[in-house]
Amino acid sequence: MNQEDEARRLDETDPLPTLRGEFLIPPAPGGPCAEAAYFAGNSLGLQPKSVAGRLREELDDWARLAVEAHTRGGRPWVDYHELLRGPAARLVGALPHEVVAMNSLTVNLHLMMASFYRPAGTRTRIVIEDAAFPSDSYAVASQAVHHGLDPAGTVVRLRPRDGEHTLHTEDVLAFLDREGGTVALVLLGGVNYLTGQLMDMAAITKAGRAAGAVVGWDLAHAAGNVPLRLHDWDVDFAAWCTYKYLNGGPGAVAGCFVHERHVRDASVPKLAGWWGTDPAVRFRMDPDIAPPASADAWQLSNPPIMALAPVLASLEIFDRVGMDALRAKSERLTGYLADRLAETGAEVVTPADPAARGSQLSVRVADAGGLVRRLAEARGVIADAREPDVVRLAPVPLYCTFHDCHRAAAALADLL
């Protein structure tokens, strides 16, 4: 059996048949196949077919009921965000009152830091990874400035060992053991956007909290990619976007987690807005806020219904399939692609251990942008480039197939 037939056989016999049919797959920009082999779901996930209907329903309620749709619509807008609570909580391993869908990711990180980054005395530092997404670097530096601190002495960037690309958990733990007394906040990516490394969130959270720091996670590349147990891991806070693995659409409404111990603590300072008061009294227009004991207390504005509708449609798919089944398929697909890439001699910087990565393989090449263009134009394979030298490929288990992985590996073998 040749490699292409073998890939097709794997698709036909996989315990979790592809849900590709539930998504709109873009046409291939070039090459012999009609549909793209889409490996950029870690950047922007594909559109579930159910989204258009969901949006239509809200547009119809707006047309038919206008302001009355807040209370009389098919899904009354005044409580709309409640519909996302259960699926979001199950997705990240949280109690329902620990999660809320609101804003976008960087905004939520700032809201969380406004509450939980409280530099005092010699405990002022913020720990991020050296390969943090730039928005996180900017956010933590601006928080330092906001508190009158010098970012250069406040932000600590954890670097891989010489000649390596990813962090060792033991090095992170050793740092926290050694210098944790000066750390106010640990804010790392659960899955690193560049290398695809999956961090040991349980161990790092435990060590960070034992050192007296607050531990928050940027889950942009982890939510919908790997199973999460935020409550049990005792994470202080987390935030994630929903336009990557979660297929919520460009700039979609983000998610936020605040651990139960904080939502019950009325003394935690919060930036406030009217959607963060108890819904039972919200419309009394009282000037004094009465925040609920839930992550909702961090909401500011009334939510954008048209932007929540696609997220709801997508979360329903995750709820139906379950993260454990998706993770198992992700390991099979990513493992298959890793084996095929190994045959090409490509330099993969993502950890080889399946337990230390999600659905992403990052390949180091001389001209990332040029290669990504050629992959699309010549083979219909959509990947993305992180300049100057990383091409990222995400075999997303909901809609990528073994045959897609075969197409990507065969194309890279030819083009590299």
Ligand X SMILES: Cc1ncc(COP(=O)(O)O)c(C=O)c1O
User: Binding-site residues, please?
Assistant: 105-106, 133-136, 218, 221, 243, 274, 302
- Residue 218 binds ligand X (CB under 6 A): yes
CB of 91 to ligand X, least distance (A): 17
Q: Are the CB atoms for 354 and 324 separated by under 8 Å? A: no
Nearer to ligand X, 204 or 409 (CB): 204
- Residue 221 binds ligand X (CB under 6 A): yes
- Residue 136 binds ligand X (CB under 6 A): yes
| Intra-chain end-to-end CA distance of the chain, in Å | 25
CB of 189 to ligand X, least distance (A): 5
**One-letter amino acid for residue 51 of the chain:** V
CB of 190 to ligand X, least distance (A): 9
- Binding segment for ligand X (CB under 6 A), chosen from 61-69, 101-109, 142-150, 273-281, is 101-109
User: In this chain, which of 133, 175, 336, 399 binds ligand X, going by CB under 6 A?
Assistant: 133
Nearer to ligand X, 58 or 136 (CB): 136
- Binding segment for ligand X (CB under 6 A), chosen from 72-80, 128-136, 201-209, 302-310, is 128-136
Nearer to ligand X, 257 or 336 (CB): 257
Report d(CA 307, CA 254) in Å as an integer: 10
**One-letter amino acid for residue 257 of the chain:** F
Helix H, strand E, coil C: the string for 377-415 is: HHHCEECEEECCCEEEEECCCCCCCHHHHHHHHHHHHHH
Contacts of ligand X in 173-212 (CB under 6 A): 189, 193
| Strand, helix or coil for residue 238 | strand
- Binding segment for ligand X (CB under 6 A), chosen from 60-68, 91-99, 129-137, 167-175, is 129-137
Residues near 348 by beta carbon (within 8 Å), at least 6 away in sequence:
338, 341, 342, 361, 362, 363, 364
- Determine which helix (DSSP H) or strand (DSSP E) holds 367, and give its type and residue range: none
DSSP β-ladder status, 155-158 and 347-348: unpaired
- Binding segment for ligand X (CB under 6 A), chosen from 75-83, 215-223, 315-323, 326-334, is 215-223
- Residue 360 binds ligand X (CB under 6 A): no
Nearer to ligand X, 208 or 255 (CB): 255
User: In this chain, which of 105, 235, 383, 393 binds ligand X, going by CB under 6 A?
Assistant: 105
Strand order in the sheet with 125-129: 99-101, 255-258, 237-240, 214-218, 183-189, 125-129, 155-158
Neighbours of 319 (CB within 10 A): 14
- Residue 379 binds ligand X (CB under 6 A): no
Structure tokens given for 94: 């949280």
Neighbours of 408 (CB within 10 A): 26
Question: Which string of x and - marks every residue 52-91 that binds ligand X (by CB under 6 A)?
Answer: ----------------------------------------
DSSP β-ladder status, 214-218 and 237-240: parallel
Report d(CA 356, CA 349) in Å as an integer: 12
Max CA distance (Å), the chain? 72
CB of 188 to ligand X, least distance (A): 10
Nearer to ligand X, 196 or 351 (CB): 196
- Residue 240 binds ligand X (CB under 6 A): no
Report d(CA 201, CA 224) in Å as an integer: 15
Torsion sign, CA atoms 302, 307, 310, 315: negative
User: In this chain, which of 214, 215, 241, 409 binds ligand X, going by CB under 6 A?
Assistant: 241
- Residue 97 binds ligand X (CB under 6 A): no
User: In this chain, which of 50, 135, 182, 344 binds ligand X, going by CB under 6 A?
Assistant: 135
CB of 283 to ligand X, least distance (A): 30
User: In this chain, which of 22, 62, 104, 289 binds ligand X, going by CB under 6 A?
Assistant: 104
Backbone angles phi, psi at 27, to 5 degrees: -65, 150
Q: Which residues bind ligand X (CB under 6 A)?
A: 104-106, 133, 135-136, 189, 193, 218, 220-221, 241
